[in-house]
Amino acid sequence: LALAQSANFVEEKNTIVSDFLNKTNGHSLLPLLFPDEYQNFTWRSYVLIEYFFNENNTKCVGECNATTVKNDYPYSDANCVTLTVSPNEDCWGPGCTRDCYPSENDQNNFIALRLINATHNLIYTKYKTGSQTEDNITFQDPDFIEIFNVSADPWNLVNLANISTTTSSDYAQLDSDLMAAFACTSADTCP
């Protein structure tokens, strides 16, 4: 019975994945990369990007005890092949006590809409402090917002959300599109 239930579960999941791939598989990403050359492209003009905090993680690279550190910085992280221990002392060593910096904290949650088409080249991002393992992060009340016009500002230096003439109505459609993409759960519900 358990084997039959497992087979049914696998078959159901394979059907869901297959349905999704049939709706998206084979669609070229070139129009997202080269919008001027693909102006009649209608499949999608944006990409959803999301990242959630995992756990606090601080790296130290100074005053390392040579007997406890297996590799020298900066080669330690790149040469470390076992990333299964936490904290990852095989790469960074317990003997480093100075020049520490956080590489992860609970402020590192964001969702972003990368909009690329014939008329727009924008990135719209919402950030929220929290831990997804403790409470659902919805981004309804973000800590801060970034909007960059990548065509005019390729280095993303001028946050349009901070300009006094920019109002929430100026990016209401971006916000609506981002939240719709974030909320989607299947190929049928995704914009």
Distance set, CA 95 to CA 37, 59, 175 (Å): 54, 11, 46
Which pLDDT value is given to residue 68?
A: 46
| Per-residue confidence (pLDDT) for residue 3, from 0 to 100 | 46
pLDDT digits (tens, 9 = 90+) for 78-128: 445 555 555 555 555 556 778 888 878 888 899 999 988 778 889 999 999
Indicate the range of 69-73, 140-144, 157-161, 168-172 predicted with least confidence: 69-73
Q: Give CA–CA dist 155/132, Å, rounded.
A: 30
pLDDT above 80 for 4 = no
User: Per mean pLDDT, which range of 91-95, 139-143, 177-181 is the poorest?
Assistant: 91-95
What value does the mean pLDDT take over residues 39-54?
Answer: 76
Mean pLDDT across 60-78: 57
CA distance 101 to 112: 25
pLDDT score at 132: 85
Query: At 27, is the pLDDT very low, low, confident or very high (cuts 50, 70, 90)?
Result: low
How would you label 144-167 residue by residue, b for 16+ Cβ within 10 Å and e otherwise?
A: ebbbbeeeeeeeeeeebbeeeeee
Q: Sorting pLDDT into bands at 50, 70 and 90, what band is 137?
A: very high
Q: What average pLDDT is seen over the chain?
A: 73
Identify whether the C-beta of residue 89 lies closer than 8 Å to the C-beta of residue 71: no
Share of the chain above pLDDT 70, in %: 57
- What letter does residue 160 receive in the DSSP assignment? G
So what's the pLDDT on residue 80?
52
Among residues 122, 126, 167, 172, which one has the least CA distance to residue 149?
A: 122
**pTM here?**
0.63
Copy the structure tokens of residue 146. Answer: 């970034």
- Amino acid 112: pLDDT: 96
CA-to-CA distance for 118 and 141, rounded, in angstroms? 31
pLDDT average, residue stretch 28-42: 64
**Looking up tokens 């690279």, which residue turns up?**
61
Considering only residues 88 and 39, tell me which one the structure prediction assigns the higher pLDDT: 39
